């Protein structure tokens, strides 16, 4: 799996098999592509994604447990790890 980050128009950290899949997940869950998504999406390292994701508060406003972070990062499921708080 690879990790992708988008900052504009809304922030998201996505785990996906490739950039095309990450872009589809973003447009399905976060926001429509106004034509600039391919320029906004960037691949980030696994270490960067792990650190960012481990510092995010979950739905209960508490830090996500390390066990859950590791399970999400190592699973074969494509997913949004972090989404802009204004969309929640």
Residue 70 has pLDDT above 80, yes or no: yes
Say what the pTM is: 0.91
pLDDT digits (tens, 9 = 90+) for 50-67: 999 999 987 788 888 999
d(CA 27, CA 71): 24
d(CA 7, CA 46): 18
**Cα 14 off chain centre by:** 3
How many other C-beta atoms are found inside a 10 Å radius of the C-beta of residue 73? Answer: 17
If you average pLDDT over every residue of the chain, what do you get? Answer: 92
Is residue 4 within 8 A of residue 41, CB to CB? The reply is yes
Report, in angstroms and rounded to the nearest whole number, the Rg of the chain calculated over CA atoms. 12
């Amino acid at each position: 799996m690879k990790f992708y980050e988008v900052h504009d128009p809304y922030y998201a950290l996505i785990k996906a098999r490739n950039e095309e899949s990450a872009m589809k997940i973003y447009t399905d869950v976060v926001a429509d592509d106004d034509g600039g998504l391919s320029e906004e999406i960037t691949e980030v390292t696994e270490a960067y994604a792990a650190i960012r994701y481990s510092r995010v508060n979950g739905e209960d406003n508490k830090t996500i447990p390390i066990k859950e972070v590791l399970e999400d990062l190592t699973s074969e499921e494509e997913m949004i790890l972090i989404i802009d708080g204004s969309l929640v």
